[in-house]
Amino acid sequence: MPKKKKFARESCVTMTELVLPNDTNTLNNLMGGKLMHWMDIVSAIAAQKHSNRIVVTASADNISFGQGIQLGNVVTLKAQVTRAFNSSMEVHIVVTAEDIPAGRKFESNRAFFTFVAVDQSGRPIEVPELVPETEEEQELYDSALRRRQLRLILGKRMLPQDAKELKSLFDLPSDKK
């Protein structure tokens, strides 16, 4: 039986939060842990929409904090599955913040989270193949395998010499160990 396919757009999720005093540090900026919590939630929902399964967080890539998000800002988190593998899915998250009274909006973060779909016993289960439609979706889809290989190397689940996609990116000879 052929593997089921789903379009990337079917997993798109937008979540909006208001930064309240309990969400901030002593400088009245949104706490990083709170933002990561929101990112985990929005990306888990996107992964669930793609897989129609319970999902667990496997990794979160390179969350950097460039511009502080202030008390009273409105935070919008957009997440969408970029590629599905056997039981895992990569999700791209874009975070923007808006100071509505000042009429100022800015992007504060981008990240990739990985989720694994599991059955009721917690065992990994196969997910539908992802079909990109737009140019941006195709670029994210194509580069997802390199990001996955890098995650596997960093997690000591793959040897660097076995990362064929990464080797091609750096044009490294594949026969050297």
Task: Report how far residue 105's alpha carbon sits from residue 73's, in angstroms, rounded to the nearest whole number.
Answer: 9
Query: Nearest 5°: phi and psi at 119?
Result: -85, -175
The sheet carrying 74-84 orders its strands as 13-18, 74-84, 88-99, 104-118, 54-61
pTM for this predicted structure: 0.86
User: Region 132-137: what's the mean pLDDT?
Assistant: 96
pLDDT band for position 16 (cuts 50, 70, 90): very high
| Architecture category of domain 5-134 in CATH | Roll (3.10)
Domain ranges of the chain: 5-134
> pLDDT tens digit string along 21-68?
999 999 999 999 999 999 999 999 999 999 999 999 999 987 878 788
Task: State percent of the chain over pLDDT 90.
Answer: 74
Task: Report how far residue 121's alpha carbon sits from residue 27's, in angstroms, rounded to the nearest whole number.
Answer: 44
Residues with Cβ within 8 Å of residue 62, at least 6 apart in sequence: 111, 112
Residues with Cβ within 8 Å of residue 73, at least 6 apart in sequence: 18, 19, 30, 97, 98, 99
The strand pair at 88-99 and 74-84 is best described as antiparallel
3-state secondary structure 98-113: EECCCCEEEEEEEEEE
Q: Tokens standing for 164?
A: 């064929």
Euclidean distance between the first and final Cα of the chain, in Å? 39
Higher-confidence position of 34 and 169: 34
pLDDT band for position 2 (cuts 50, 70, 90): low
